[in-house]
Structure 1
Amino acid sequence: MPGMKWKIMLGLPWGRLRLRSLYWFLLVLTTTIVVLLIHRFDKSDVANDKKQETKPGETMQQPREEPTTIQDRRHLIKTMCGKYKSNMSKTISRHHVNHIYVEDKYKILYCQVPKVACSNWKRILLVLSGHASDIEKITHKATYKDLPLKTLNTFDRAGIMERLANYTKFMFVRDPLERLVSAYRDKLENHNAYYHTLFGRFIISKYRPNASKLALEYGDGVTFLEFVQYLLDMPSSVSKDIHWEAANRLCNPCHIDYDFVGKFENMSEESEALLRLAGVPPYLKLPNLKDRNPSDKKTTLSVTQKYMAQLDSLKRQQLYDLYKLDYLMFNYSKPFPDLY
């Protein structure tokens, strides 16, 4: 009978071997399936854990690595400081930090360089410090008149040094002569009663023969050549206004080791990198607001060249020499081939 035949086969030695092999096969198969299931659930748990680390509306914290470009800039600054300012005192005093704004909540120190989007950077600080909520509604006047932000020189020495050691320190720079032309257009070429009274009247009286009574009274219409001659004849005048003071003298990078030195020419990308480095919420972006004379064409390299073409080669060289350290320290190319 078939059933009897099967029982007899199982009783044979080779039948026992087949049964034993089947047993081990099933054991190995079952073990493999269990291991695969465990591995699958482990991966699922890890994925779920990662999802739980990030709350809605937030981005995961990535390792903060400085771009090579920023590291290279910091190295170049140190090299230029060693070459041109090796004999200076290394002691940090209040005047070294009087252009640095403080934001304590996010631990940020910002050194303002006028004509390098400084009003928009102060808008960022006003929002971060809780003094404003809508960055687009902050007026230009609010960024300089009765500004509620503190500067670093208002703290005692311990407060200054503690913040310098632990806060994210940054500044942004711009081609020096392009920045100078931008300042001239804003403060002297266009209407600006304060600057026309403070600088315009003196410049016209000194450098314009047969100036009209109206020009002498109001200081309107200072030409670029007159402005440049004023700067060349009185080099100390460069330090009398922050809008045409050299960036290295405003922010003192030979005394202060800035974590981030950005460039106006790459403002969109580098402002974003700086804000992420400082841990600022991702929704906050640097605005692109042009406050004064919004109908004017922005001061670009081509616009700058038109103004510089009004100067002879000697004056261009002398003007470059006033800002030479900025050119070297922040790695800007010479604007004219005949400069040395």
Structure 2
Amino acid sequence: ITLHPESQMLYCPVLKVGSTFWRRVLYALDTNTPIHTPYDIPIQKALSAKHANLFSELKTNKVRTEHFLENESLKMMFVREPFTRLISGYIDKIFAPNPYFWSVIGKYIIRNFRVNATEKSKKCGHDVTFPEFIKYVIHSEATNNTARDAHFTPIYDQCKPCEIKYNVVGKMESFLNDTTFIMNNIGFNITLLHARNHSKHNKKQQKLEALTDAFNQISSEDKLKLRKLFLPDFKLFDYESTPAYI
């Protein structure tokens, strides 16, 4: 969770739900530097901003922490349909070339969830299938083991919405409109023309076909386990737990 006292804003970043965009926005607020669009800011700069470490400091001061959690004028988070977020994470971190994730997650998945894996696959971790990835997600969450990764964990477990009273919960599916609302709320004038409208960015039919193809590869047993695992996200954030593509 990140804090920006000057704008009276608390934000829970969720990976694969526009978090890099909002980290850039917070950096712009920190530096008070005029920018045309948040995408002008290199992500490494955004990650090093002073707000990134504020919550770690606050955790050692119970009184100050409670003040921020109870009195901040804007407590916000963004959510995304759970299964869409999972497949986005798989494509970005596991399927597409990503040496770091191949080494850390890919090799782990192949060694634990593939029968008769080749030495090349065990060594490289480069060819994890979507069904294998889903088995990893189910197992890592069920056992709460060290192989868990925040890109693939349920949102409720990261942002604790039952403990923190968020007054703005934006959605990836309406990212541009929700972001505009928040910007107006905090009085931050910035060009959002380059912020991707995630509700229209991909053609809906192509997206539906890709989701259907991916989840058709998953066994009925694993679909049930996955749905149960993410059920709090479905219920809390008003998503259908049995979408058409399942």
Tell me which residue corresponds to 1:164: 69
Tell me which residue corresponds to 1:335: 242
Q: Secondary structure at the match of 1:320?
A: helix
Tell me which residue corresponds to 1:123: 24
Q: Secondary structure at the match of 2:15?
A: coil
Contact 1:169 1:259 in 2 (8 A): yes
Change (3 A) 1:112 1:286: farther
> Is structure 2 residue 42 aligned with structure 1 residue 136?
no
In 2: Cα distance, 1:215 partner to 1:148 partner: 40
Aligned match for 1:280, one of 173, 187, 194: 187
Residue 319 of structure 1: how far off its partner (Å)? 0.8
In 2: Cα distance, 1:218 partner to 1:132 partner: 43
In 1: Cα distance, 2:152 partner to 2:146 partner: 6
Q: State the aligned residue count.
A: 233
- RMSD, aligned CA: 2.7
Aligned match for 2:117, one of 199, 211, 234: 211
In 2: Cα distance, 1:304 partner to 1:151 partner: 38
Residue 107 of structure 1: how far off its partner (Å)? 1.1
Instruction: Give a deviation string over 1:50-73, Cα, whole Å, max 9, x none.
Output: xxxxxxxxxxxxxxxxxxxxxxxx
Which aligned pairs between 1:100-119 and structure 2 lie closer than 5 A? 100-119=1-20
Contact 2:215 2:245 in 1 (8 A): no
Residue 301 of structure 1: how far off its partner (Å)? 4.4
Which aligned pairs between 1:11-160 and structure 2 lie closer than 5 A? 100-130=1-31, 133-134=34-35, 135-144=38-47, 146-149=48-51, 150-155=53-58, 156-160=61-65
Instruction: Give a deviation string over 1:107-162, Cα, whole Å, max 9, x none.
Output: 11110111111100111101011175433321233344x44333423212222111
Instruction: Give a deviation string over 1:201-243, Cα, whole Å, max 9, x none.
Output: 1111122233222221121111111111122234225982111
Tell me which residue corresponds to 2:165: 257
TM-score, reference length from structure 2: 0.84
Change (3 A) 1:280 1:324: same
Contact 2:106 2:125 in 1 (8 A): yes
Change (3 A) 1:215 1:133: farther
Q: Secondary structure at the match of 1:221?
A: coil
Q: Secondary structure at the match of 1:222?
A: coil
Unaligned 5+ segments in structure 2 are: none
In 1: Cα distance, 2:114 partner to 2:156 partner: 32
Residue identity (%)? 27
In 1: Cα distance, 2:245 partner to 2:88 partner: 23
Q: Secondary structure at the match of 1:240?
A: coil
The structure number with the bigger radius of gyration is 1
